[in-house]
């Protein structure tokens, strides 16, 4: 099969399938958070369908060179337009597409991606970028959100009995306990191993609310302690309701990394913002935001 490099006119090539992995709070794996794919177990807002009959979560090892991932890589190498990537191809969510981010961030590894991918689509490159949404723990009930991404909304659904096992099977026992076990063992182990081996080079902290997760604070401090923080780029999507946990301060950690970016969720100021994002204290948010600005690079 012919392979076409970006420098030769390949417009659909993306470095994500050679570097990045995404996992939803319900342990669904994807190419990235913007890819449109059939659900393995639980359909998300952007998924194209749900053909799953039972919960069979994939480990990262099983996923990385799975038939699906190999097919994606071969089609990308050939310059084909992928149905999984129509969000980028047709700019469905943003004019500044995710593909551009990956190709710029890992531009120096494009040649390696072509060289290390065999005729089946398998690659010997390791996963170095993680978007692991370890759970849906969140202290807000934003009006545009729901129970898949917010434990506060999940609690509301349970309280009001507004959920059912058909539409939200992941909330029912014993499936709920199976998911938690997979999250707390397999998922944490995969991520921790990438930290301990110094493999990880990019992290997207997104939830739920990632600044409520113990693993966020432990992993960030561990990367610093292991001495390779200057090799790691970190991004956040956070409600910025807090900037510390158990004495560890976010804005003491971030300047020690290669670079960082925080997207802080806000839809309005004052009472308007607090109405849209139930749980928001706007004055506290503003103090936290200014704290970040004080250490941000100009």
Q: Token pair of 108, please?
A: 């120096």
pLDDT for 42: 85
C-beta neighbour count of 5 within 10 angstroms: 14
Closest CA to 93 of 11, 16, 36: 36
Place of tokens 């993306």: 14
pLDDT per residue as tens digits for the range 48-96: 777 666 899 999 999 999 999 999 999 999 999 999 999 999 998 888 8
Neighbouring residues of 190: CB distance < 8 A, sequence distance ≥ 6: 59, 60, 132
What phi and psi, each to the nearest 5 degrees, are found at residue 129? -125, 130
What is the 3-state composition of the chain as percent helix, strand, coil, each rounded to the nearest 5? 45, 15, 45
Q: Helices 214-225 and 188-196 meet at what angle, rounded to 10?
A: 20
CA gyration radius, the chain: 20
Mean pLDDT for back-to-back runs of 10 residues, the chain (298 residues): 93 98 95 90 78 84 97 97 94 90 97 97 98 97 96 97 92 95 97 98 97 98 98 98 95 97 95 97 97 90
C-beta neighbour count of 8 within 10 angstroms: 9
pLDDT for 268: 95
Q: Quote the CA–CA distance of 287 and 293 in Å, as a whole number.
A: 10
Q: How far is CA 115 from CA 3, 111, 121, 122, 123, in A?
A: 11, 6, 11, 11, 9
Q: Quote the CA–CA distance of 189 and 196 in Å, as a whole number.
A: 10
Q: How far is CA 25 from CA 71, 124, 134, 272, in A?
A: 25, 27, 6, 28
Closest CA to 69 of 34, 138, 20: 20
Q: Quote the CA–CA distance of 135 and 121 in Å, as a whole number.
A: 31
Give me the helices (H) in 123-242, please.
Answer: 151-160, 175-182, 188-196, 214-225
Q: Quote the CA–CA distance of 234 and 217 in Å, as a whole number.
A: 13
pLDDT for 52: 64
pLDDT per residue as tens digits for the range 253-290: 999 999 999 999 999 999 999 999 999 999 999 999 99
C-beta neighbour count of 132 within 10 angstroms: 25
pLDDT for 95: 85
Q: Token pair of 4, please?
A: 């076409």
Q: Quote the CA–CA distance of 121 and 90 in Å, as a whole number.
A: 25
């Amino acid at each position: 099969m012919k392979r076409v490099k970006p420098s030769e006119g390949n417009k659909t090539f993306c470095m994500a399938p050679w570097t990045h992995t995404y996992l939803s709070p319900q342990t669904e794996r994807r190419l990235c958070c913007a890819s449109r794919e059939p659900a393995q177990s639980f359909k998300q807002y952007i998924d194209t369908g749900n053909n799953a009959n039972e919960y069979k979560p994939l480990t990262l090892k099983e996923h990385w060179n799975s038939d699906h991932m190999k097919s994606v890589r071969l089609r990308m190498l050939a310059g084909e337009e992928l149905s999984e990537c129509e969000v980028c191809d047709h700019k469905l969510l943003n004019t500044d597409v995710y593909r551009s981010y990956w190709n710029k961030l890992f531009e120096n590894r494009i040649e390696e991606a072509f060289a290390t991918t065999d005729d089946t689509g398998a690659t010997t490159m390791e996963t170095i970028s993680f978007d692991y949404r370890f759970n849906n723990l969140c202290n807000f009930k934003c009006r545009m959100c729901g129970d898949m991404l917010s434990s506060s909304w999940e609690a509301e659904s349970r309280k009001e009995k507004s959920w059912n096992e058909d539409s939200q099977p992941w909330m029912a026992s014993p499936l709920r306990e199976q998911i938690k076990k997979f999250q707390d063992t397999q998922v944490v182990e995969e991520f921790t191993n990438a930290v301990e081996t110094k493999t990880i080079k990019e992290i997207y902290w997104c939830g739920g609310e990632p600044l409520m997760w113990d693993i966020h604070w432990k992993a960030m401090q561990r990367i610093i302690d292991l001495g390779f923080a200057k090799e790691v780029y970190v991004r956040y999507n956070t409600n910025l309701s807090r900037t510390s946990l158990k004495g560890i301060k976010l804005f003491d950690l971030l300047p020690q990394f290669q670079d960082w970016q925080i997207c802080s969720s806000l839809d309005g100021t004052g009472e308007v913002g607090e109405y849209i994002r139930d749980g928001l204290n706007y004055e506290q948010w503003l103090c936290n935001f200014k704290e970040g600005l004080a250490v941000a690079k100009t």
